[in-house]
A = this chain, B = another copy of it.
């Protein structure tokens, strides 16, 4: 049986805002399986902000994608055919198999811990292993616990609070007894952050009076700022920091498409406040830490203490548009592309 595989390639390195024309679709015929290989049919592709970095011709923690190559991305898929003893038909497999419908995997774990067989617990959908129980969830856990180190009673602010990472970071801080304030774009997201995720407060940065609203929401200042955004939001939150504040620097999504990123103007506050800011990437964490994070997140999910939301578009053809929308904050929760 001939199987056709639609792939999304990087066509241009964007200058400034990424465009749909920076991607190119191609269709190939999959070769027959060789001994030791596994054919994985992808169920979902994860779209994440870090991918914007892989499109640049610059050093980044996310290795760049070469022009004409398949865009990198996390997937979850099902084994459709196997000539590898460790994989059975219908096994669920997550890995960084890219923006395509199928992949052929030779069992060599070329990307380290990234290829995993998944055994979903009662009623947890496979897609969740790309979100709350995947890279974004572990990112939230590691940034909050290892850099933020929250103590009960502290105030934690999370930007991009309704997103895949922010929503988990805030809920974890809340579980640890912190006052948790989200920042999100628009009333719908803010309502969700408060009513569904259980944050104490959420500030709508699009409402036009971020500084005042944030001051009202953080009467005792800010001890931890889980940073996903950068730019004006960083400047504003930095005005509310308490002495010894910690800033896990997870992302700077407001700056990824800027030709001249704006940096951090109020940088001197780090000195006067003896504050810490630390960039991190979940891929640097060791396997034990990943497992600890996933175990805890899974337990919280099963006991309904951890909520999440997904935005799913249907079909690989939608991936570029959905990716651009996510960079503009149009998604709501974890952005996925359904591939099958």
Contacts of A255 in B (CB 8 A): 268
Asked if B268 contacts A252 (CB within 8 A), the reply is yes
The answer for the CA separation of A277 and B279 in the assembled complex, in Å, is 9
Interfacial residues of chain A within 151-170, with CB under 8 A of chain B in the complex: none
Q: Which of these, B61, B230, B272, contacts A273 with CB under 8 Å?
A: B61
Asked if A270 contacts B279 (CB within 8 A), the reply is yes
Point out which of A53, A255, A266, A272 has the most chain B C-beta atoms below 10 A from its C-beta. Answer: A272
Asked if A59 contacts B272 (CB within 8 A), the reply is yes
- What class of interface size applies to chain A in its complex with B? 20 to 34
Asked if B277 contacts A276 (CB within 8 A), the reply is yes
The minimal Cβ–Cβ distance linking A33 to chain B, given in whole angstroms, is 38
The answer for the CA separation of A266 and B261 in the assembled complex, in Å, is 8
Contacts of A281 in B (CB 8 A): 274
The answer for the CA separation of A276 and B280 in the assembled complex, in Å, is 9
Point out which of A53, A271, A280 has the most chain B C-beta atoms below 10 A from its C-beta. Answer: A271
Asked if A17 lies at the interface with its beta carbon under 8 angstroms from chain B, I say no
The minimal Cβ–Cβ distance linking A138 to chain B, given in whole angstroms, is 15
Asked if A305 lies at the interface with its beta carbon under 8 angstroms from chain B, I say no
The count of identical subunits is 2
The answer for the CA separation of A97 and B113 in the assembled complex, in Å, is 58
Q: Which of these, B261, B270, B276, contacts A268 with CB under 8 Å?
A: B261
Asked if B278 contacts A276 (CB within 8 A), the reply is yes
Contacts of A268 in B (CB 8 A): 230, 252, 255, 261, 263
Contacts of A278 in B (CB 8 A): 270, 274-278
The answer for the CA separation of A264 and B263 in the assembled complex, in Å, is 6
Contacts of A270 in B (CB 8 A): 249, 277-279
Asked if A251 lies at the interface with its beta carbon under 8 angstroms from chain B, I say yes
Asked if B261 contacts A249 (CB within 8 A), the reply is no
Interfacial residues of chain A within 239-268, with CB under 8 A of chain B in the complex: 243-244, 249-252, 255, 261, 263-268
Contacts of A21 in B (CB 8 A): none
Asked if A303 lies at the interface with its beta carbon under 8 angstroms from chain B, I say no
Q: Given A263-B265, A263-B266, A264-B263 in contact, is the A279-B271 Cβ separation under 8 Å? A: yes
Asked if A286 lies at the interface with its beta carbon under 8 angstroms from chain B, I say no
Q: Which residue of B lies closest to A235 (CB)?
A: B263
Asked if B230 contacts A274 (CB within 8 A), the reply is no
The minimal Cβ–Cβ distance linking A190 to chain B, given in whole angstroms, is 26
Contacts of A59 in B (CB 8 A): 272
Asked if A28 lies at the interface with its beta carbon under 8 angstroms from chain B, I say no
Additional pairs, 10, CB under 8 Å, beyond known A230-B268, A251-B271: A60-B272, A61-B243, A249-B271, A250-B271, A261-B267, A264-B264, A264-B267, A272-B279, A276-B279, A277-B278
A-B pairs, top 8 by smallest CB distance, nearest first, are A263-B265, A271-B279, A264-B267, A276-B278, A270-B279, A263-B267, A274-B279, A60-B272
